[in-house]
Amino acid sequence: MNTALLSALREIETDKNIPFDTITGVLEESLLAAYEGREGAEEGAEVVLDRETGDLRVMKDGEDITPHDFTRIAAQVMRQTFYQRLNEIHNEQLLEEYGNRMGDVVTGIVQQAHRRMTLVDLGRAEALLPASEQVPNERYENDQRIKVYLLEIREPGRGPSMTVSRRHEGLLRGLFDLEVPEIYDGYVEIKAVAREAGLRSKVAVYSKESGIDPVGACVGPRGSRVRAVVSELRNEKIDIIQWDPDPARFIAKALSPARVREVYLDEDERQAEVIVPDDQLSLAIGREGQNARLAVKLTDWKIDIKPASQATEYDEEDEDWEPDEDSAMHRCRAVLSNGRRCANMALTGSLFCGIPSHQAQAAEFEGMVGESQEVSDE
C-alpha cells in the first residue's frame, strides 16, 4: 500500500485545483512513456494506479508485468515529466479562466508589498502590480485586501504572468459598475472617464431612461455609492457630470465646478473657446491646470479658456457687422459651424483670426473678392 503517493496527489489536487482523475491520468501516461522507453519493454502494456491502495503496476492482458525497478522509475518520472505536465495543465486553466476576464475588477490580497513590484494573490493565481501601475500616494501592506484592474496576461516560458493596475481608468469604471445597480443593469452608461490617479477624476454618465437621473444614481442615497468608490481609491476626488450629445453643453459641464458663460466651437479643428466670468477663471483651470486637463481628456476637445474681460463683446443680433477699414482692431469674419461669428480678433492686415481653418476661409474670401473685382472691371 502506498498511501503517501495518494496523499501527495490529493495535495496537488487542492493546491492547483486540478481534478484528481486528471492528475492520476497524467501520472499513468508519464509512467507508461518512461516504461516504453526502457530496454525490454513489452508492447501493448499499460500503467495502472490503484485508487484505493496507491500501488502502481504495469499490466498487459490482465497480467502484472511490473519491473522490479519500477519504483525507481516512478520516482524519476515524478521529479521530471509528471510535475512539468501538471504545471502545463495548471497554466492552461489559468489562461482559460483569466484570459476571458481581462478588463475586470477583482479583489486580491497583497502578498509582498514593495514600491518597485507588489505581488497580489488573486486566489488561484498571483499577479504583479508594477510601480508603473501603482498610485503614487498609495502604500500597500502585506495581507491587505485591495481591488485591482486585470490589465494583461502573458505566457512566458515558466507559465502565465498577470499584470494588474490601480491607476487604470478601467478600475474606476469597474468600481462604479460594482456599486451602482443601474450601471450593472444597463440603465445608466458611463460615456467617458478622465483620471489622474490618486488626485482627481471626472466621470460622464448618461441614461436613455427618462425616469432615471444618471448623476443621482451614481451618487446614491446620501452619497453612499460614490463614497464607497472614493474610499476604495483612498479619497481620490471624483466629479460626476451628465454627458450631453451637444459638444458645447458637454464642455461646459466638464469644466464644473466652474460656471461657464459661453462656448464657441470650431468643429473642423475640434477646438473650443470657453468664456468664463473673471472670478471663475482659476476654478475653471484648476490647480496646476488639472481641471482643464481633465475636461480636455473627458470631452476629447481642445479647450481654450478665457476670462470675460478679455473676450470680444458682441451682440448676436449684430451678425451683419462689418469691420471699420480705418481701424486696426476688428473681429474675425469667420462663421462657425453653429452659425455664430468667431469671437477672436482678426490678425493685423487680415479680416480673419489665426485659427488655421479660418485662415483657409481667408484665402477663399480673397479669391472671391478678386473674381468680383474682375467681373466689375469688365
Question: In whole angstroms, what is the distance from residue 113 CA to residue 163 CA?
Answer: 15
Q: What is the pLDDT along the chain (378 residues), one digit of tens a residue?
A: 567 888 888 888 887 778 888 888 888 888 888 878 777 778 888 888 888 887 888 888 888 888 877 777 777 776 777 777 777 777 777 777 777 788 899 999 999 888 788 999 888 778 899 999 999 888 999 999 999 999 988 765 555 578 999 999 999 999 999 999 999 999 999 999 999 999 999 999 999 998 899 999 999 999 999 999 999 999 999 999 999 999 999 999 999 999 998 888 888 889 999 999 999 999 999 999 999 999 999 999 999 999 988 865 544 444 444 544 444 456 777 766 555 677 677 777 787 776 666 777 777 666 554 544 444 444
Question: In whole angstroms, what is the distance from residue 204 CA to residue 160 CA?
Answer: 35
Q: Where in the chain is the domain with CATH 3.30.300.20?
A: 168-243, 258-311
Of 61, 80, 58, nearest to 69 (Cα)?
Answer: 58
Give 366's contacts (C-beta < 8 A, 6+ positions apart).
none
Strand order in the sheet with 271-276: 262-266, 271-276, 302-307
Pairing of strands 161-165, 126-130: parallel
Write the class of the CATH domain 105-166. Answer: mainly beta
pLDDT tens track for 58-113: 888 888 888 877 777 777 776 777 777 777 777 777 777 777 788 899 999 999 88
Chain center to CA of 270: 24
Q: Where in the chain is the domain with CATH 2.40.50.140?
A: 105-166
- Does residue 88 sit in helix, strand or coil? helix
Chain center to CA of 97: 19
Question: In whole angstroms, what is the distance from residue 103 CA to residue 105 CA?
Answer: 7
Question: In whole angstroms, what is the distance from residue 225 CA to residue 85 CA?
Answer: 46
Of 237, 247, 196, 276, nearest to 284 (Cα)?
Answer: 276
Reported as type and span, the H/E element at residue 256 is: none
Burial class (CB in 10 A: 0-12, 13-18, 19+), 367: exposed
CATH architecture of 3-99: 2-Layer Sandwich (3.30)
Which fold does the domain 258-311 belong to in CATH?
Answer: GMP Synthetase; Chain A, domain 3 (3.30.300)
Superfamily of domain 168-243: K homology (KH) domain (3.30.300.20)
Quickly count helices (H) and strands (E) in the chain: 12, 14
- Report, in angstroms and rounded to the nearest whole number, the Rg of the chain calculated over CA atoms: 34
Burial class (CB in 10 A: 0-12, 13-18, 19+), 145: exposed
Residues 217, 240: contact at Cβ < 8 Å? no
Distances (CA, A) of 62 to 44, 56, 57, 59, 286: 11, 14, 11, 6, 83
pLDDT tens track for 164-176: 999 999 999 999 9
Q: What is the reported pLDDT for 357?
A: 67
Residue written as grid cell 476654478: 283
